[in-house]
Amino acid sequence: MDLKDLYRDVILDHNRSPRNFGRLDSPDGRADGHNPLCGDELSVFVRLAGERVEDIRFEGKGCAISTASASLMTEAVKGKDRAAIRELFERVHTLLTRADAPPDITLGKLAALSGVREFPARVKCASLCWHTLNAALEHGPATISTE
Partner 1 sequence: MAANPARTPTPSTYDVERVRRDFPILSTTVNGHPLVYLDSAASAQRPLQVLRAVEDYETHSHANVHRGVHALSQAATAAYEGARERVRRFINAGSTREIIFTRGTTEAINLVAQAWARNRLHAGDEILITALEHHANIVPWQMVCEQTGCTLKVAPINRRGELEFEAFLKLLGPRTRLVAVAHVSNALGTILPVERIVAAAHAAGALVLIDGAQAVPHARVDVRALGADFYTFSGHKLYAPTGIGVLYGRQELLTAMPPWQGGGDMILTVSFEKSTYNDLPWKFEAGTPNMSGAVGLAAAMDYIESLGIDAIAAHEAHLLELATAALTNIPGIELIGTAAHKAAVLSFTMKGVHAHDLGTILDSQGVAVRTGHHCAMPVMTFFGVPATARASFGCYNTEGEVAALVSALRKAREVFG
Instruction: Mark the segment that binds partner 1 (CB under 8 A) among 2-10, 49-57, 80-88, 137-145.
Output: 2-10
> Is position 122 an interface residue for partner 1 (rule: CB under 8 A)?
yes
Both ends of the chain: CA-CA distance in Å? 41
> Is position 39 an interface residue for partner 1 (rule: CB under 8 A)?
yes
> Is position 21 an interface residue for partner 1 (rule: CB under 8 A)?
no
Binders of partner 1 among residues 56 to 95 (CB under 8 A) are 61-65, 67
* C-beta separation of 132 from 42 below 8 A: yes
CB neighbours of 41 closer than 8 A, spacing ≥ 6? 32, 33, 34, 35, 60, 61, 62
Q: Applying CB under 8 A, which of residues 22, 25, 26, 37 lies at the interface with partner 1?
A: 37
